[in-house]
């Protein structure tokens, strides 16, 4: 089966063997009607079958490094991968290596993209440290080769503009939309902890951001923990009120870039080239934020107001993963495990590679 037959509009149309871990990160969550009609929504999903992190190729899956193109899954939202695609900068950079690029997606979040990686149909993607840690707990076969400190006011917890909710403590007994095991659930949990509220006192409704957006806009949920264009659109276009930003709740959730172990083993020079282009495009955004947002605006049909909102919240460039970044991810991992969001603590060091040594 060809990759183009597997992916259509960023949605996965194949089946992956399941394993018994109770981690629901790796596939899209329950339907909107189910989520909204249940109290504290419980989704009995399980992680996709995959080996331990230091294994190069998943069992019963073809070697992902066999082709001459890097298959890159884009997550919906502004970022250096999108710029590289639009500008053709990565293709130009890889041309001397006689290596091409196949762009896949966009995917609504990291979870469905990592399913494709688990199945051997994706070589590269990016996401958040929280989502990556959940995938690590399920044994996904990847290495983090780039770390990007996130801006702390471009994500957070939103409430409808006319909501009576004024503080994080007011979320007790309310329905809050989150993506399970990722940024949304992390932001909610961190915010409640800061407010001295047990997360069990809030009804979590597990939906990916694309599905959550219309639910929130229709008033069927009391709050939404989200990020990126979804956060900006809701705040600017829908007039949602920001209850708390990631910075205000002291979030340690950042961005990461990952590569399949098999691809890294076969083509370390290509991984280094991809990293170099990610840095190049991120630095361009820092110096040309308004122009970059116009590019994103065209791609995502963002209004001028949303573009302005996001241009004031530009993130820095990726860096190699070192001891400080590993320590930060370990803190998030320990905290996720304590809350029962992940079934076990992964060894973070097994999931990183020093890109400067490639």
pLDDT tens for residues 97-140?
999 999 999 998 899 999 999 999 999 999 999 999 999 999 99
Handedness of CA 332, 335, 339, 344 (dihedral sign): positive
With 90 as the cut, is the pLDDT of residue 2 above it?
no
Q: Which pLDDT tens digit goes with each residue over 224-238? A: 999 989 999 999 999
Between 315 and 67, whose confidence is greater? 315
Strands 175-178 and 203-206: parallel
Domains, the chain, ordered by start: 3-30+46-150+254-351 (3.40.190.10), 155-245 (3.40.190.10)
DSSP, res 163 = -
Q: Which run of H or E residues covers position 12?
A: strand 11-12
Residues 6+ apart with CB under 8 A from 239: 161
Strands 69-75 and 203-206: unpaired
Cβ–Cβ under 8 Å, residues 77 and 228:
yes
Q: Which pLDDT tens digit goes with each residue over 243-265? A: 999 999 999 999 999 999 999 99
Tell me which range, 18-27, 150-159, 262-271, 336-345, is most confidently predicted by mean pLDDT.
Answer: 262-271
pLDDT of residue 67: 64
Label residue 184 by pLDDT band (50, 70, 90). very high
**Alpha helical stretches, state H, 163-319:** 183-195, 209-217, 228-236, 261-266, 268-287, 289-300, 304-311
CA angle centred on 235, ends 232 and 241, rounded to 5°: 145
% the chain with pLDDT above 90 = 71
* 138-157 mean pLDDT: 95
With 70 as the cut, is the pLDDT of residue 24 above it?
no
Residue 342: strand, helix, or coil: coil
For the whole model, what pTM was predicted? 0.79
pLDDT of residue 314: 83
pLDDT of residue 277: 98
Cα–Cα distance measured from residue 109 to residue 104, given in angstroms and rounded to the nearest whole number? 13
What tokens were used for 81? 């991968």
Exposed, middle or buried: residue 356 (CB in 10 Å: 0-12, 13-18, 19+)? exposed
With 60 as the cut, is the pLDDT of residue 190 above it?
yes
Neighbours of 82 (CB within 10 A): 22
Per-chain mean pLDDT for the chain:
84
pLDDT of residue 320: 98
% the chain with pLDDT above 70 = 81
By mean pLDDT, which of 99-113, 176-190, 285-299 is the weakest? Answer: 285-299
pLDDT of residue 1: 40
CA angle centred on 134, ends 354 and 108, rounded to 5°: 95
Residues 218, 11, 105, 27: what is their CA dihedral angle, to the nearest 10 degrees? Answer: 90
Using alpha carbons, select from 339, 244, 350, 299 the residue that is nearest to residue 74. 299
With 70 as the cut, is the pLDDT of residue 27 above it?
no
Cβ–Cβ under 8 Å, residues 29 and 45:
yes
What tokens were used for 170? 């007011």
With 90 as the cut, is the pLDDT of residue 207 above it?
yes
Phi-psi map region of 304: left, alpha, beta (phi>0 left; psi -120 to 50 alpha): alpha
* 167-176 mean pLDDT: 98
Query: For residue 12, what are the CA distances in angstroms to 57, 74, 144, 230?
Result: 20, 13, 23, 21
Neighbours of 354 (CB within 10 A): 11
Instruction: List beta partners, residue 158.
Output: 224, 242
Between 181 and 279, whose confidence is greater? 279
What is the side-by-side strand order in the sheet with 100-107?
A: 100-107, 69-75, 124-128, 255-260, 142-148
With 80 as the cut, is the pLDDT of residue 185 above it?
yes
Q: Which run of H or E residues covers position 338?
A: helix 323-339
DSSP, res 281 = H
By mean pLDDT, which of 22-31, 101-110, 118-127, 145-154 is the weakest? Answer: 22-31
Cβ–Cβ under 8 Å, residues 351 and 142:
yes
């Amino acid at each position: 089966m060809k990759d183009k037959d597997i992916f259509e509009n960023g949605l996965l149309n194949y089946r992956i063997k399941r394993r018994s871990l109770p981690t629901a990160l790796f596939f899209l969550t329950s339907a909107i009607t189910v989520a909204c009609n249940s109290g504290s929504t419980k989704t009995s999903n399980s992680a996709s079958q995959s080996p331990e992190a230091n294994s190069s190729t998943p069992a019963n899956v073809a070697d992902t490094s066999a082709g001459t193109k890097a298959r890159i899954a884009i997550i919906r939202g502004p970022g250096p991968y999108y710029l590289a695609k639009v500008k053709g900068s990565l293709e130009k950079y890889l041309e001397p290596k006689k290596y091409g690029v196949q762009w896949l997606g966009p995917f609504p979040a990291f979870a469905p993209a990592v399913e494709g990686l688990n199945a051997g149909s994706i070589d590269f993607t990016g996401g958040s440290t929280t989502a990556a840690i959940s995938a690590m707990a399920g044994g996904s076969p990847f290495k983090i080769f780039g770390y990007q400190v996130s801006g702390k006011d471009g994500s957070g917890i939103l409430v409808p503009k006319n909501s009576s909710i004024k503080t994080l403590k007011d979320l007790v007994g309310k329905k809050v939309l989150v993506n399970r095991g990722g940024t949304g659930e992390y932001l909610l949990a961190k915010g409640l902890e800061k407010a001295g509220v047990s997360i069990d006192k809030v009804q979590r409704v597990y939906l990916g951001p694309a599905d959550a957006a219309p639910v929130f806009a229709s008033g069927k949920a009391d709050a939404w923990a989200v990020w990126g264009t979804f956060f900006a659109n809701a705040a600017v276009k829908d007039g949602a009120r920001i209850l708390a930003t990631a910075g205000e709740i002291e979030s340690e959730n950042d961005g990461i870039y990952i590569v399949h172990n098999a691809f890294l083993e076969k083509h370390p020079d290509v991984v280094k080239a991809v990293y170099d282009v990610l840095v190049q495009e991120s630095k361009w955004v820092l110096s040309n934020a308004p122009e970059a947002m116009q590019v994103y605006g065209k791609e995502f049909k963002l209004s001028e107001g949303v573009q302005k909102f996001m241009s004031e919240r530009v993130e820095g460039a990726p860096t190699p993963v070192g001891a400080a970044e590993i320590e930060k991810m370990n803190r998030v991992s320990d905290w996720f495990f304590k809350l029962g969001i992940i079934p076990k603590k992964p060894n973070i060091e097994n999931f990183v590679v020093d890109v400067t040594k490639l």
